[in-house]
Structure 1
Amino acid sequence: MKNSFLSASIIYFIGNILLKGIAFFTLPIFSRIMLPEDFGMYSLYTASLGILTIFVGLQINGTVNISFGNKSIERFESYVSNITLFPLVGLFIGLISLAILPNLIDLIQVPTMAFGIMMMIQAFFSIVTSIYQSELVIKSQPKKHFVFSIVATLSNVILSLSFVLMLRDNTYFARVISGVLSNGLVGMYVLVKFIPRIDLKRLKQDWIDGLKLSLPLIFHNLSNQLLNVADRYMIASWRNATDVAIYSFSYTIGSIMDMIWLSINNAWIPWYFSQLKDNNKELIKLYSKQYIIFFVWLTCCFVLVSPELIYFMGGKQYVDGIYIIPLIVLGYFFVFLYSFYVNYQFYRQKTTLIPIATTSSAVINIILNILLIPPFGLIGAAITTAISYFIMLMFHYTMTVHVLKHRDMPTAYLWLAILFMVCFILFTYVILQYMFIRFILIVVLCIIYATYVLRIIKSFKR
């Protein structure tokens, strides 16, 4: 089991590094070809797409992991195929709503009805793709997940670059249409693969069972989306599209840490659920401690090198982003920590608890954005992001430890990690302009962590 977890982690990690690497190396191309205004508009499009996807599918794709443990493989596969058809209902209702209420395009931040239709279609195929990827993850098939994700990403990048280069005068439209086409191609492949597995006799019941689990998740994921994008809408309203571009660009760089966490979490969840079933509390505690130490080290190194990433990826027009990334990364660190508590809530299928924390954090996020963005601009939005994710961490900690009476690790691990990272981020702002000092610190941190790992390896051998 240990080897299975480690090998899956390595495959997911390498896969996500390659996926993020593709996006990483194409980001400077798009940031230089596209005007900052178009880059900012496209960021708002992707933000609205994330929210719309939740309403089109009613988060039924989020039930794949939850449903795996109580079904046979054959029954699980037919369930997955059946719920893949459900978003068609949301797509149909969405298109009808656009036809009846054309002013909805203002709500989803697109310039014309055509963009609204494209967003609806892209949302549907995104859900289909997400369902298939979730199935591969929960069935512990990291190699298939890796190949599928690489093909999907490369098709999107190739089409995006082709359309952007052909439509230099309208790069916003080029990015949108290429995303719709690439998602459509990948989504059609999944649908063709799933059709033979559909069980029409159980279709209605599977939809009902799926919605019972997914409806509470709507508020959780909608609130998560608002946490991610509310600041961009407010920056667009109170500032301008260029500031949206700078903030979105910085957020994209910071999301590399989120990608790394997701890649490991994809392997952690099946392993963690299995250990909970076997009541291996000490093993979970041991792995949790090493996991936290690793992520603290990695986060520190990433923050120290982030100014160079901004210069390399975006150039001078995005240089103000160097002051945003440390706070964004701190927010993602809190996301990493709260996953320890959320994963247990998913294991217990306590999905009604999850939206309470996320919705409360989203409301606080919006209030803080209203208070901080007008006087402090982009820094105010970044501060709000970090605070909101910390509050969400505290909610999930309270629910798991005090309501569900479960504790995977000593609370001291949590508070030491939080205290260290907050102090480190504050210190980083003092040395942001001093590249030599930052790189010396990276070397020191790498030596310390390497020494620690060697000691752990020796202790395991003994």
Structure 2
Amino acid sequence: MKDNFIKSSAIYFIGTLLLRGISFFTLPIYTRLMLPEDYGLYSLFTASLSIVTIFIGLQIQGTVNLSYNSRSEEEFESYVANISIFPFIILLLCLGALVIIPSLINVLQVPSLMYGVMMLVQAFIGVVVSIYTSELIIKKQPKKHLCFSLVFTLLTVLLSVSFVLMMRNQSYFAMVMASTLANTIVFSYIFIKYVKRVNVKSLKQDWLHGLKLSLPLIFHVLSHQVLNVADRFMLAYFKTDIDVAIYSVIYSVGAIVQMIWTSINNAWVPWYFDHLREKCYDLIKVYAKQYIIFFSVGTTLFLLASPEITLVLGGKQYESGIYSVPLIVLAYFFVFLYGFYVNYEFAKEKTTIIPIATLLAAIVNIVLNIYIIPKYGIIGASFTTAVSYFLMLMFHYIVVVKGMKHRDFPDYYMWISIVAIFISMLVTYLAIHHFIIRCILCISIIIVYSLYLYYFVMKRNQLKLMKK
């Protein structure tokens, strides 16, 4: 089981590097082909899309992991197909409402009815894609997950670049049209797989079961999305679309940290749930400790390299964003840490607790943004994001450790890692214009961590020999 975790982690990690490599290789193309205003408008479109997706699916895709262990293989496959039909009903209702009340496009923040229709279609397909990828993850099929994600990403990139090149003067429309087409092609593949699995007899029962688990999660995910996108809408309101574009680029740079975490977490969650059921708390602590050390080192290296990464991905016109990237990276590091506690809450099906923290953080984020963004702009938005995610971490830490009396994570290492990342941020700011100094620091950290890994592996091998 341990080898399976390491193997799955490696596949997800390599897959994420490939996928993000493709995405971030094309980001400089988009930022150079599109006007900053158009890129800012497309960023607002994707921000609205993320919120609409929640209402289309009512977060029913979040029940896939929770339903796997309580069903047979046949029942689970039928359940997955059945819940995929639910968002289609919501889609039809939303399309009808949009046609009857065209002014709803103002709520969606899009310029015309066509954009609104494409947003709703993408939201529906996004839910179905999420259901399918969640199925692959919980079934521990990382290779299939990688192949599917790789094809989807390449298809989206190919169509997006092609459409933007053909419609340089309408690059905003080109991006929306390309992503809609890519989603539709991918949906056709999933539809063929799922249509034969549908069990009409259990349709109502599966929907009710799914909604019972998913409805409490809506407030969590909705608050989380508000937390992610509120700053962009406020930047557009208080500042300009160019500020939104710059902030979107630096957010994409910081999101590299999140994507690395997501890739490892995809392997961690099934492994953690299995060992939690078996009450292997000591083994979980050992792995969690090494996980925190590894991620802290990786985040530190990323912080030190972030100025160059930002310039490569965004270009000179986005250079002013380099001062905000460390704060976004810090926010995503807090996401990594609170993931330990949220995973436990999910394992115990305490889904009613999770939205409270996210809602409080979203409220704090909005209030702080109202006061800070008008004066400090992009760097102010980045600061409020970091503060909000830290509050979420503290809430989940208190709930699990103090409230649920559960301690299978090395809390001491969590606090040490936070201090280490703060120091890394300070060093990055002090040496932000000194490339050589940051290079020397990166090399030194890699050498020290390599020696630590060597010592750790040798010590583990010695313990194995002693047991034999």
Same fold at TM > 0.5: yes
After the TM superposition, which residues 57-456 of structure 1 pair with which residues of structure 2 at under 5 Å, given as runs? 57-456=57-456
Q: Gaps spanning 5+ residues in structure 2: where?
A: 463-468
For residues 396 and 409 of structure 1, what CA distance do their matches in structure 2 show? 13
Deviation at 1:70, TM superposition (A): 1.0
Deviation at 1:92, TM superposition (A): 1.2
**Do the aligned partners of 2:255 and 2:332 also contact (CA within 8 Å) in 1?**
yes
**Do the aligned partners of 2:78 and 2:197 also contact (CA within 8 Å) in 1?**
yes
Equivalence for 2:38? 38
Deviation at 1:241, TM superposition (A): 0.5
Equivalence for 2:459? 459
Deviation at 1:415, TM superposition (A): 1.3
Of stretches 243-252 and 85-94 in structure 1, the one that deviates more from structure 2 is: 85-94
For residues 17 and 332 of structure 1, what CA distance do their matches in structure 2 show? 17
Deviation at 1:433, TM superposition (A): 1.1
For residues 221 and 326 of structure 2, what CA distance do their matches in structure 1 show? 24
Deviation at 1:253, TM superposition (A): 0.9
Write the deviation string for residues 209-244 of structure 1: whole angstroms up to 9, x where unpaired. 000000011001011111111000000000000000
Of stretches 19-28 and 395-404 in structure 1, the one that deviates more from structure 2 is: 395-404
Deviation at 1:427, TM superposition (A): 2.8
**Do the aligned partners of 2:136 and 2:142 also contact (CA within 8 Å) in 1?**
yes
**Do the aligned partners of 2:288 and 2:410 also contact (CA within 8 Å) in 1?**
no
For residues 126 and 19 of structure 1, what CA distance do their matches in structure 2 show? 17
Write the deviation string for residues 22-62 of structure 1: whole angstroms up to 9, x where unpaired. 00111111110000000000000001000000000100011
Partner SS, residue 383 of structure 2: helix
The amino acid of 1:307's aligned partner reads: P
Deviation at 1:100, TM superposition (A): 2.8
For residues 209 and 25 of structure 1, what CA distance do their matches in structure 2 show? 42
Partner SS, residue 197 of structure 1: coil
For residues 262 and 15 of structure 1, what CA distance do their matches in structure 2 show? 11
For residues 104 and 398 of structure 2, what CA distance do their matches in structure 1 show? 38
For residues 90 and 422 of structure 2, what CA distance do their matches in structure 1 show? 42
For residues 388 and 277 of structure 2, what CA distance do their matches in structure 1 show? 33
For residues 424 and 103 of structure 1, what CA distance do their matches in structure 2 show? 48
Deviation at 1:207, TM superposition (A): 0.3
Equivalence for 2:466? none
Q: Gaps spanning 5+ residues in structure 1: where?
A: none
For residues 431 and 17 of structure 1, what CA distance do their matches in structure 2 show? 27
Write the deviation string for residues 284-324 of structure 1: whole angstroms up to 9, x where unpaired. 00000000000000000001111111111211100011011
**Do the aligned partners of 2:340 and 2:409 also contact (CA within 8 Å) in 1?**
no
TM-score in terms of structure 1 length: 0.99
For residues 236 and 248 of structure 2, what CA distance do their matches in structure 1 show? 11
**Do the aligned partners of 2:155 and 2:182 also contact (CA within 8 Å) in 1?**
yes
For residues 425 and 282 of structure 2, what CA distance do their matches in structure 1 show? 32
Deviation at 1:401, TM superposition (A): 1.2
Partner SS, residue 61 of structure 1: helix
For residues 392 and 107 of structure 1, what CA distance do their matches in structure 2 show? 28
Partner SS, residue 80 of structure 2: helix
Write the deviation string for residues 371-392 of structure 1: whole angstroms up to 9, x where unpaired. 1111111000000010000000
Write the deviation string for residues 135-184 of structure 1: whole angstroms up to 9, x where unpaired. 00000000100111111111111111111111111000000000001011
The amino acid of 1:397's aligned partner reads: Y
Of stretches 136-145 and 101-110 in structure 1, the one that deviates more from structure 2 is: 101-110
Equivalence for 2:465? none
RMSD over aligned Cα atoms? 0.8
Equivalence for 1:3? 3
Partner SS, residue 145 of structure 2: helix
Partner SS, residue 109 of structure 2: coil
Deviation at 1:424, TM superposition (A): 2.1
After the TM superposition, which residues 6-21 of structure 1 pair with which residues of structure 2 at under 5 Å, given as runs? 6-21=6-21
**Do the aligned partners of 2:369 and 2:380 also contact (CA within 8 Å) in 1?**
yes
The amino acid of 1:439's aligned partner reads: C
Partner SS, residue 32 of structure 2: helix
The amino acid of 1:457's aligned partner reads: V
For residues 429 and 384 of structure 1, what CA distance do their matches in structure 2 show? 18
Equivalence for 2:22? 22
Partner SS, residue 170 of structure 1: helix
**Do the aligned partners of 2:304 and 2:424 also contact (CA within 8 Å) in 1?**
no
Of stretches 434-443 and 397-406 in structure 1, the one that deviates more from structure 2 is: 397-406
